[in-house]
Amino acid sequence: MPESGLPGTPTPEWEPYAGDLDRTVVIRLTLAERVQHIVLMVSFTVLIVTGVPLLFPETPLIRVFGGMFPVRTFLHRFAGVTLALLAAFHVLYVLFSEEGRRDFGRMAPRIRDVTDFVHYVKYQLGKVSQPPPFGKFNPFEKIEYFAVVWGSAIMVATGFMMWFFEATLRVIPKWGYDLVLLIHGYEALLAFLSIILWHLYNVHLKPGVFPLSKVWINGKVTLRDLKEHHPREYRSWLKRQRIQPPGENGEI
Amino acid sequence: MAASLASDSAAGARLYVDPAVFTSSIHGQMGFTCTMCHPSISDYPHARVTPVDCGGCHSAANDELKASVHGRVHPTAGTIPATCADCHGSHDIRRHADPQSTVYRLTQFRACANCHSDREKMARFGQGDVAAVPTYLESVHGRALIQKGLSVAPVCTDCHGQPGTGAHEIQIVASPASPMNRSHVTETCGRCHEGIVTAYNRGIHGQRFAQGNADVPMCVDCHTEHAVQPITSPGSSVYPSHIPGTCLACHEREDLNARYGLPSARRQTYLGSFHGIALVSGQLTAANCESCHGAHDIRPPSDSTSSIAPANLVTTCGRCHPGIGARVTEGKIHVASVREDINLFAFGVQWFYYLLIAGIILFAASMIALDQYRHRVVDARRRGRGHA
């Protein structure tokens, strides 16, 4: 796709030297975001390990807890509360921190995501030579983020209803409670399979990333990574660095 | 046996009667002479010795024995299975209340085990089970007797003998005259466990049992016979983790469920529930069948006094879950089918997730395949073109 296909961002005609692309690092995830990701990762893993076996009764999987079933229940609830607190913190982060507000803005779905996706498929098939002009978050990352937001909301809400089912059954009928159990189970399976298949492929197994992307630890990407995988964000970054195309202000 | 004594001179030792043993026996204490039991002996050398006829004095016991399985000639073996001496001894006979008696309460099992743990002897009378006595000794009854020294613990003859006359009238269990025959088991157990049997008789099992129903369980169907254990014993058939298996032995049988119009899929609906999962995972406090349905006094939900009648459900659930909402009654407790046991809406939710999960897997798989294709095929082609 030609450069003109990037509405809203100026096309820099000046770029850093190739050597600088590898030397320069850009912060992709702030410390607060990395900490949130680690808390999410740990609580999610504990929730999956202590929860998913319950979806397969009468299989050997259910025996993994040995005689420690009450410990399992405690861990599941502890991790659930952790996830709920994380979600609350994330809402505050998005609302009140500058980086949070900015990144959430970049997360917002746009029509451009559809055209970017079409471009991506064409690029993957070799129909176009220019990589898709993704912003800081590509359409897949946006879907994943909102899936986590939506999934966490459902899991936390249904989870608390199950924890305090005595009170829940004062409000909703037993058949409604059965629906809550159903949703909690299937949503968990959905989240588990999505992470196993999609997220772990992208951050571990994908060629160029293998064996592990370190962005979740140090939050850093090189300017080259940014240019190749997030071209729109790259240009926006150049602009923020006040690197202007020559001639625009007369001289540089 | 006695008949062979004189002729069997090689076994001289068998002719010897220890005077000390005989004088300490009940007959010796009473001053019996030898010829009172061996009347055919009058001179020396002795004439052929006739069998001792205990019935000459003990006529009632003798009649009882003759009517019992032990005193009747066995159709294939051709002899009677047990004589007086087999249980009571011969020259050393003591009163049954004497602790040294072979039939004394606390040690009586040994007299029974002489034959009933002997595979050869039992085989002669067409019996294969030689485990009854050792199994009994490991049971709550046997341990009460041996380890706790409880004289009220039941011994063999308490359950197998007739009440009152005891051991002499023992019948095979298949005989309607046996107290261990299916028709008499509840009253026999009830001689000690009276309150339990009263509760059982109130329950649906007991009511049907009283009508002569051959399908309903009675005491030994759930508790086992000789092996009976307390509910606190992990080996018990009614230990919390074993209760589902014990109940399901009947309630998972399609023929019985169909015959009595009982709901099916009890195994699946219980073991798939949080209660079942927790119990299987070793949390013994999790509700098992008995927790909600009761043990002896089980009643159908249509009975207003049943613990699972809709009106009583909040109380029953509330025993473990205080303050549980009353709307627990609006729906099924055992959920087998999302479509029928919850509703069509739930069925829709289930299919929504089926499609969503299938869609996500399909989408992720195709995106991964596309990525691999680009890296392996498209990139290689691009590089090739670059070199050319």
Selected residues 229-268 of chain B with any CB under 8 Å from a CB in chain A: 268
How far apart, in whole angstroms, are the C-alpha atoms of residue B341 and residue B24? Answer: 75
Which chain A residue is nearest to residue B320, measuring alpha carbons?
A: A166
| Helical packing angle, A174-194 and B344-373, nearest 10° | 0
Q: Please list every residue in chain A whose beta carbon sits closer than 8 Å to the beta carbon of residue B268.
A: 58
Contacts for A200 with CB less than 8 Å, ≥ 6 apart: none
Per-residue confidence (pLDDT) for residue A4, from 0 to 100: 42
Which residue of A166, A169, A194 to mutate against B (max B Cβ within 10 Å)?
A169
Rounded to an integer, what distance in angstroms lies between the CA atom of residue B239 and that of residue B187? 24
Q: Which residue of B has its CA nearest to A56?
A: B272
Are the CB atoms for B113 and B120 separated by under 8 Å? no
pLDDT for res B295: 94
Whether a cis peptide bond, with omega within 30° of 0, leads into B39 is no
> What average pLDDT does this structure show over A229-233?
90
Burial label, B262 (beta-carbon count in 10 A; 0-12, 13-18, 19+): middle
Integer Rg of chain A from CA: 22
> What local confidence, expressed as pLDDT, does residue A12 receive?
53
Cβ atoms of A109 and A142 within 8 Å: the answer is: yes
The predicted pLDDT at position B12 comes to 57
Per the DSSP assignment, residues forming a β-bridge with A220 are A27
Q: Which has more confidence, A240 or B176? A: B176
Would an 8 Å CB–CB cutoff place B353 in contact with chain A? yes
User: What residues in B contact A193, CB-CB < 8 Å?
Assistant: 357, 360-361
Distances (CA, A) of B310 to A132, A166, B294, B315, B323: 62, 17, 15, 10, 16
**B354, A191 contact by CB (below 8 A):** no
pLDDT at B384: 79
Nearest to B325 among A169, A175, A183 (CB): A169
Q: Across residues A148-169, what is the average pLDDT?
A: 97
The structure tokens listed for B238 are: 């009614």
pTM over 0.90: no
Q: Indicate yes or no: CB of B282 within 8 angstroms of CB of A177.
A: no
pLDDT value at position B362?
A: 96
Closest approach of A189 to chain B, Cα-based (Å): 8
| Residues on chain A touching B345 (C-beta within 8 angstroms) | 179
Residues of B in contact with A124 (CB under 8 A): 370-371, 373-374, 378
Q: Which two tokens stand for residue B135?
A: 């199994």
What pLDDT shows up at residue B366? Answer: 95
**Is the confidence at residue A1, as pLDDT, over 60?**
no
pLDDT at B319: 96
Eight-class DSSP state of A202: I
Q: Which residue has tokens 């197994």?
A: A205
Interatomic CA distance for residues A168 and A207, integer angstroms: 48
Burial A24-42 (b: 16+ CB within 10 A, else e): eebebbbeebbebbebbee
Lowest-confidence region among A19-23, A51-55, A70-74, B273-277: A19-23
The pLDDT value recorded for residue B43 is 80
Q: Please answer whether residues A187 and A155 qualify as being in contact, where contact means their C-beta atoms are separated by less than 8 angstroms.
A: yes
Give the type of residue at A48.
Answer: I
Q: Do B281 and A177 touch (CB under 8 A)?
A: no
User: Which among A70, A140, A174 has the least Cβ separation from residue B283?
Assistant: A70
CA distance A162 to A196: 26
- Does the beta-carbon distance from A62 to B281 stay under 8 Å? yes
Do residues A216 and A34 lie in contact, with contact meaning Cβ atoms separated by under 8 Å? yes
Among B268, B363, B342, residue whose Cα is nearest residue A183: B342
Q: Spell out the long-range contacts of A11-14 with Cβ–Cβ below 8 A and sequence spacing 24 or more.
A: A11/A235, A11/A245, A12/A235, A12/A238, A12/A239, A12/A243, A12/A244, A12/A245, A13/A245, A13/A246, A14/A243, A14/A244, A14/A245, A14/A246, A14/A252
Peptide bond into B45 cis (omega under 30): yes
Confirm or reject contact between B343 and chain A (CB < 8 A): yes
Q: Cα–chain-centroid distance for residue A121?
A: 21
Looking at residue B6, its pLDDT comes to: 47
Q: Is B358 helix (H, G, I), strand (E, B) or coil?
A: helix
Q: Are A68 and B282 inside 8 Å of each other by CB?
A: yes
Phi, psi for residue B77 in degrees, rounded to 5: -75, -30
Integer Cα distance of B300 and B130 in angstroms: 40
Determine contact, residues B178/B171, Cβ cutoff 8 Å.
yes
Angle A42-B284-B280 (CA atoms, 0-180°, nearest 5)? Answer: 65
- Determine the residue type at B142: G
Give the model's pLDDT for residue A244: 54
Q: Which amino acid type is present at position A60? A: P
The single-letter code of the amino acid at B53 is D
Helix extents (H) in chain A: 18-23, 31-51, 69-96, 98-107, 111-124, 139-163, 165-171, 174-194, 200, 215-218, 223-229, 231-240
Mean predicted lDDT score pLDDT of chain A: 88
Contact A174 B349 (CB under 8 A): no
Phi and psi, residue B128, nearest 5°: -110, -20
CB A198 within 8 A of CB B366: no
CB contact at 8 A, B249 and B216: no
Residue B303, φ and ψ in degrees, nearest 5: -80, 125
What tens digit of pLDDT does each residue of B290-348 get? Answer: 999 999 999 999 999 999 999 999 999 999 999 999 999 999 999 988 888 889 999 99
The pLDDT, as a whole number, for residue B13 is: 54
Could you say which of B272, B345, B361 has the minimum Cβ distance to residue A57? B272
Give me the pLDDT at residue A2, please.
40
Phi, psi of B39 (to 5 degrees): -70, -20
**Model confidence over A68-99: pLDDT tens digits?**
899 999 999 999 999 999 999 999 999 999 99
Give the pLDDT means over successive 10-residue stretches in chain B (388 positions): 46 74 93 89 79 92 93 91 93 93 93 94 92 95 94 93 84 92 95 96 96 95 95 94 96 95 92 92 93 95 95 96 95 89 92 96 94 90 68
Nearest CA in chain B to A58: B271
HSE of B359 in the Cβ direction (CA atoms, 13 Å)?
Answer: 6
